[in-house]
Amino acid sequence: MFEKALLIYNGSAGQAETGEQLAILTRTLAPVIGELTLLQTKEQGDAERYCKERAEAVDLLLILGGDGTVHECVNGLAQLAHPPVVGILPGGTCNDFSRSLRMPQQLQQAAEAVVAGQTLTVDIGRMNERHFSNFYGIGLITDTSENINPELKGMIGKLSYFFSALQQVRAAESFAYRMETDDGMVEGEAVMILVANGGFLGTNELPGADQRLTDGLLDIFIIREAGLPLLLEVLGQKTSKQWDPEASSIDYRLSSRVAIHTEQPKRADTDGEVYMETPAELEVLPGRLTFIVGEETK
């Protein structure tokens, strides 16, 4: 039973759809929440501000929205001394971090998972003075994110990411980088660098570490031009069990911290939001936030 809960929902969604979603949630959550406050976002930054100003006064923070809304909330919550338990109710296109938490992707079932109340304290990433829950990436991943057709995304959801990725692969340009990790310095050329805390990208499960949310480490994927066919295999939903990092054209490593420098500033995609550039100092914050989870979570 939660005495007080705050539900932040994305105000950019259609009113009719949002009304139906809120009806489902309030009906399902009422038995386990004494007082539920609803806050609608109206512009970028609202969700982060709501979390900073009001989250410490509740036992449970619920986020109804996609990865962008989750990203804002995490940046507000990570600055708090006593953040509440967080429940993500998937309301976006990919909902990648909620997938990492094994939350059901149907709203009714996700609400039921909140009622069940199973929690997991997980790692959060920090990049310079900002935070991320799922990933930080430069190169091809940023080009893909910036070239997604909004109308196409609205009509066919996650498939728009695949179409955009395929278009960008044809024009992928390599860039020089220098990276410092726990194992020392590495440098070279790549078409994409992905630093992951979560386990999904564009609804597809990433290969790599089994305990990535709780291991105190970041998963680093350095993809050179020769690794692009494998990247498309990952986007094509090959399972992580079919990937052997020792025999891969993708350079994979684990580290608690990552410093990335490029010859020219590279725009970075962070949890699907593009607003930062290299250079970047990244680190993992072990056990920083506690989330509601669905089935057994890695």
Which residues are designated catalytic? 273
CB 91 within 8 Å of CB 195: no
Closest by CA position to 37, among listed 17, 60, 68 = 60
Closest by CA position to 153, among listed 169, 168, 142, 165 = 165
Question: Beta 33-41 vs 2-10: how paired, if at all?
Answer: parallel
d(CA 103, CA 100): 8
Backbone angles phi, psi at 6, to 5 degrees: -120, 125
Helices (H) and strands (E) in the chain, counts: 9, 18
Q: Largest alpha-carbon pair distance within the chain?
A: 56
Give strand pairing partners of 291.
86, 120
CB 87 within 8 Å of CB 62: yes
Angle between helices 15-29 and 107-116 (to 10 degrees): 30
The residue type at 135: F
